[in-house]
Structure 1
């Protein structure tokens, strides 16, 4: 068999990622209905996504971007509804948004077996993640690094966010 160079994306290819963002967004939208009871959960989610996408286009995947999309959505609805902005509420929203980087990582089923088999077959494996360094440094260590995924030995020279050869 011909040896191949194989590129893996970390997020939602080797480890679950988007499900954690969805969980935190759900908590955010539910909290917003407490403060703005005439607005639907879907409206909060749409506005948060709109603000988040604009920020990604402008700032990339900087670590503060995601929690700030919660604050931006809150500010938007405060302005729209004529409600006074409360520092305690914006602080809470930032804290809530940062929770996504504290959730223990969960590998995709059969990730370890697949990577090990590919390595044993002699393939060159590379890891890529599109996150910026501040998120990576916040995300991976708080998720107990790649060691938690039991693939640390497969990724000894990881450098994020660049494309990295994993062994």
Structure 2
């Protein structure tokens, strides 16, 4: 008898490895750089607003974040931001791109165990080259049967990502730390959606959990194999 669950999709950033902590550190550095030139009390909100405006143009990831920081620096200083501050913002972005991958607890053991029993798909947003590089550095790449690096995660994204795998979306699960991107649209597409909270949550990824029987939440990836076994 075929399993109810055939395919498991994983988000990457802040689900399998740390990511948001580097954005937070860089944002703190950004505020320090501008502290001599503007009131920084509203800087966080101004930067988030710039990121939200620019996603459609720049997409997700470090490069778009850096461009949004530069735009914000120019705007809040009325164009008076010094060139050396722009240079330091660019250097901060380079540091983010070069930062080594640090896996989250239970990521390797859980992905390894589930790769023996299910088809695994990595579904992640962000810059193509950077995400490919992070996956290669993680040492997890060979455990995935498929990889999809997308500009946005929608219902259509999950229908497409799971279509070529046994049972399609109905026999699939998506696991991730973003309620807005990993869980809500996956459940709406007909898959299971499993929320794995991370200590740091990007403002633009917040959403209410779906009121649906295929929604689940676990404390960390160490709880995932038992949930998968329970679903069958």
| TM-score of the pair, normalised by structure 1 | 0.77
Question: Which residue does the alignment assign to 2:59?
Answer: 60
Question: Which residue does the alignment assign to 1:14?
Answer: 16
Higher strand share: 2
Q: Is the CA contact 1:24–1:99 (under 8 Å) kept in the aligned structure 2? A: no
Determine if the alignment matches structure 1 residue 124 to structure 2 residue 123.
no
Does the C-alpha gap of structure 1 residues 114 and 136 become closer, same or farther in structure 2, counting only changes over 3 Å? same
Q: Is the CA contact 1:51–1:72 (under 8 Å) kept in the aligned structure 2? A: yes
Distance 1:17 1:46 in 2: 20
Distance 2:101 2:148 in 1: 19
> 5+ residue gaps in structure 1?
none
C-alpha RMSD over aligned residues: 2.6
> How far is 1:43 from its partner?
1.4
Determine if the alignment matches structure 1 residue 25 to structure 2 residue 17.
no
Alignment: residue pair count: 152
> How far is 1:150 from its partner?
2.4
Does the C-alpha gap of structure 1 residues 90 and 149 become closer, same or farther in structure 2, counting only changes over 3 Å? same
Q: Is the CA contact 2:10–2:122 (under 8 Å) kept in the aligned structure 1? A: yes
Distance 1:31 1:85 in 2: 10
Distance 1:139 1:7 in 2: 16
| TM-score of the pair, normalised by structure 2 | 0.57
> How far is 1:62 from its partner?
6.4
> 5+ residue gaps in structure 2?
151-156, 165-232
Q: Which of 114, 139, 163 is matched with 1:150 structurally?
A: 139
Question: Which residue does the alignment assign to 2:129?
Answer: 137
